[in-house]
Amino acid sequence: MGGSLTKFIKQECFNWYREEKHCIFHGQCFVMKGKPCTYFKRSVLPPPDYKCKHKCLVDDPAFEDRVRSEYRAIDSTLEIGRKFCDCGAAIPPRKKYCPKCSAKRAREQKRKWKRKNRG
């Protein structure tokens, strides 16, 4: 586990007992052990589009991305927020690729099928 996630837990999680340096409920923090924590996911980790109104760690987008990627390595069910295609374009809801990449993939699949089924 990386330092960004540990720093974020120690400063932002209410279950982290700073004086004793452990989690109030479990003794040792689940996230620091490399296990998913429902409380951390729902209450401590801000949503992807959250803008902090006071000075906090989340103000730095690079730091927020590091925390999210480190926690995503532990818990793969974390919502990513808005999805982006390989080309960098936003993916519409209920789609796998952006319209441009979708058309490109369809052409490639059609070519592949034609090569395979030539007589």
pLDDT for position 75 = 75
Same domain membership, residue 102 and residue 60: no
- pLDDT, one tens digit per residue, over 3-21 is 777 787 777 777 777 777 7
Query: What is the model's pLDDT at position 9?
Result: 77
Q: Residue 98 in contact with residue 89, Cβ under 8 Å?
A: yes
What residue ranges of the chain have pLDDT lower than 50?
54
Shared domain for 8 and 50, answered yes or no, is: yes
Tokens for 68?
């999210």
Which SS3 state, helix, strand or coil, does residue 85 take?
coil
Give me the domain span that covers residue 43.
Answer: 3-74
Please count the structural domains in the chain. 2
